[in-house]
Structure 1
Amino acid sequence: MLSATGFAAALAVTPAAADTVIANIPIIGQPWGMAMTSDGKHAYVASGYTGLVSVVDTVTNSLATTIDQDLGDPVAIALTPDGTRAYVASRSGGVSVVDTATNTRLGGIGVGSTPSDIAITPDGTRAYVTNFNSTAYGTVSVIDTVTNTVTNTLRVGKNPHKIAITPDGTRAYITNNNSGTVSAIDINTSAITEIAVGSWPAGIAIAPNGSRAYVANNNSGTVSVVDTATNAVVNVIQGPPRPNAVAFTPDGSRAYVTDGANLTISVIDTATSTVATTYPMDSGPGAIVFTPDGTRAYVSLSISAEVAVIAIKKDVPNLPSTGSLGSRGS
């Protein structure tokens, strides 16, 4: 078997076209949430209905290993800044803490009902968990990552779904599906500001410079742009019909919006706040993460049980299973 170095050396270095699927990686179960390591060498994938976390080697674009530690029904995953631990949220209840060096489960943390997402503050001291079916109003659990205990439970809108934290670690933003709002949480004081957005806000992402939050409104077919300094909606971008997830390129010049219902990925030019292009996919795209250098995007495809690898720049070598976004190689 080729090592990562040998594999990379064996690749044809013909430049791949930008925004082209260059690999499709089979995953056990249904891939949902993902997290990229800070060095960009591995992507961790929550494999729904399996109790597993899949680890993708981004050098070879292959499945490196699966973490089989009875993790419930994994739906979301977050890594500590130093990469030593993974926090895995399970829809069947609770958060598991995994040692990424040994791929062993260190323990579990009880949170609210039906966790749906998790994010860790940039300093690594706290994890925020959205509890989708927690109560009539919805809650967010705050975990102290030193003691791995819940230190606070915050009341937010109905059916809190996705979460994003600003790069400076001062605020967390929560989409509330059934309230049509985003809850902006002051991490230092736990004060909460509710921001009205579109119908059924789903995915959310913070621009790399922290100035804007993009909110994918699944029932409105729009992306709300929130000014994080004022917590006000400053723009509404007409997006794909059913946007469900959003992620910024590391340089902040583009935001990629997935539409799993219509099998597309739309690319927003953040300078003009317009959709620059929309690409068809062969399977419904979900979560999306980028390598730190911005050359590749990894997209979960839950129906086909794969992770698609998309070349973002033209200096990415061609890999097996190449193809356009609309027609994968077989």
Structure 2
Amino acid sequence: MKRALATLLLLSSAAPVCAGQAPGRAAAPDVPITAKDRFYTSDQFSNTVSVIDPSQNKLLGVIKLGEPTPANLSPLYRGQVLVHGMGFSPNGKTLAVVSIGSNSVSFIDTATNTVKQVAYVGRSPHEAFFRPDGREVWVSVRGEDYIQVLDGKTFASTARIKVPNGPGMTIFSPDGRYGFVCSSFSPETVAIDTRTRKVVGRMKQESPFCPDLAATPDGEQLWLTLKDVGKTMVFQAKPPFRALKTLDTGPITNHVNIVRRDGDQFAYVTVGGTNEIKVFRTGDFSQAATIPVGALPHGLWPSGDGTRVYVGLENADAVAVIDTAKQAVIATVPVGQAPQGVAYVPNAVPSGDGTANLQPLSAAQNSAQLSLAGSDGKAVTQVTLFNQGPIQMLQAAVTGLEPKAPYILALANDAKGETGVQPLAPFMTNPAGAAIVNAVGPIRQVVTDAEPDRKRYLVILAGTPDKPGTVLQSQAP
């Protein structure tokens, strides 16, 4: 009797997330959107967390975790770098924010918007998620080959779980029995028994690069994305963990999440190469909708009642709000630079207006977008220049090239790339003929200078910097 009562109290204090929102149980009640809810984005280049009131689709401000480049290059710098992954506690009181460059997880109090503790883990962590009972946080340390387990209250390191090289993300089954870990460097996803911390199932990925996965609230399926080949795989979420379906979703397929609404269950997948969301029924895997959203959709998460899906637009510094009944974008909200992981937390602010300690967006919104077109004049590559004061972070979502081939992103004196070619970044395309390419410098001033004799153009050439070839894409007017 006492043990049963203690278990009941533990479960009730955990306040599990909602049926409309993975990874909660399907039997849990929906929670309508209110001003107490919050939607968060982790902003990779401004090193901030953007905070949105979903009842108004309004940015309230940002939580500053670090400085932009070049301020974060000092050997005495103590802030966070490349703010990227995001998870939250079952009771909605704590946000777990992963910073890849500083190998850290910042734990933020959602009521006060303050960092209450920082845990440092191994090389290049990617995502951190609480177990459904809230007792542990599992951090996928993508630069190594293990899951770092942290205590759910003290956030101290307690154990390591050996997994295939390059764990990309961990998500738990709704009942908390299994932790699923996909890989970004090995073609294998594993199922781990959370009680014994032993691998009890292995699932073959069709490629080595999985950045994201989601478990359905009914406990039956596991969905995972393969960014390098533009596919999404579905597995049985119980032994024998067999493969159920592989879907061709498109170049730069990135994140997936599950939405339950009115008894139906759907998988929403972000496809960066086509700037859209693809929606699939989990029953027969048929496609239910295609939703244009904006430049390079990355992370996405549903509201507590499944009526909305919020999508971070990495190359637009914005969040797209989708009405799941209309399957259409109904609002766009500005956020910090290059939003990556996201989280929708119902009842994150039980009292007050929840704006304490937030800072204005300020310079994080000063970005510029342009596109590169192929020989037919059709824009195929989206480029964003993220302002960092005197310099810019350039990020290009490249598509429309040959798979697994070398190319150069470069500046040229003319749009055809015939003179003055200056390489910025060599790159290799993935098997889908796409790539995410980055460069740093005073590029915005050089490319957009008003004087015609000084203006330069972004181009993509075949080959390598020492053996450049033909210009295949050039800056569109």
Return the TM-score normalized by structure 2. Answer: 0.57
Q: Deviations over 1:230-278 (max 9, x none)?
A: 1222211112121111111111111111111221211111111111122
Cα distance in 2, alignment partners of residues 83 and 320 from structure 1: 26
Residue 19 (structure 1) aligned to one of 49, 54, 57: 57
Residue 61 (structure 1) aligned to one of 113, 116, 120: 113
Q: Deviations over 1:36-79 (max 9, x none)?
A: 112111111122233321100011111111123x3332211111
**Residues 196, 183 of structure 1: alpha-carbon distance in 2 compared, 3 angstrom cutoff:** same
What's the offset of the Cα at 1:21?
Answer: 2.5
Residue 134 (structure 2) aligned to one of 83, 97, 102: 83
Residue 317 (structure 2) aligned to one of 263, 271, 275: 263
Aligned AA (2:265): S
Aligned AA (2:97): V
Pairing of 1:1-330 with structure 2 (within 5 A): 18-27=56-65, 28-68=80-120, 70-93=121-144, 94-134=146-186, 138-158=187-207, 159-188=209-238, 189-192=240-243, 193-209=245-261, 211-293=265-347, 316-321=353-358, 323=360
**Residues 17, 173 of structure 1: alpha-carbon distance in 2 compared, 3 angstrom cutoff:** closer
What SS does the corresponding residue of 1:44 show, helix, strand or coil?
Answer: strand
What's the offset of the Cα at 1:16?
Answer: 10
Cα distance in 1, alignment partners of residues 143 and 114 from structure 2: 28
Cα distance in 2, alignment partners of residues 125 and 268 from structure 1: 32
What's the offset of the Cα at 1:154?
Answer: 0.9
What SS does the corresponding residue of 1:244 show, helix, strand or coil?
Answer: strand
Aligned AA (1:19): N
Unaligned runs of 5+ in 2: 1-52, 66-79, 366-477
Q: Deviations over 1:167-209 (max 9, x none)?
A: 1211110011122221111112312111221222101110144
Q: Deviations over 1:54-109 (max 9, x none)?
A: 100011111111123x3332211111111000110011121111112232212111
8 Å contact 1:22–1:320 — kept in the other structure?
A: no
8 Å contact 1:281–1:326 — kept in the other structure?
A: no
8 Å contact 2:99–2:105 — kept in the other structure?
A: yes
Aligned length: 292
**Residues 43, 49 of structure 1: alpha-carbon distance in 2 compared, 3 angstrom cutoff:** same
**Residues 187, 47 of structure 1: alpha-carbon distance in 2 compared, 3 angstrom cutoff:** same
Aligned AA (2:286): A
Q: Note the aligned Cα RMSD (angstroms).
A: 2.4
Cα distance in 1, alignment partners of residues 95 and 345 from structure 2: 9
Aligned AA (1:231): F
8 Å contact 1:198–1:224 — kept in the other structure?
A: no
What SS does the corresponding residue of 2:305 show, helix, strand or coil?
Answer: coil
Aligned AA (2:109): D
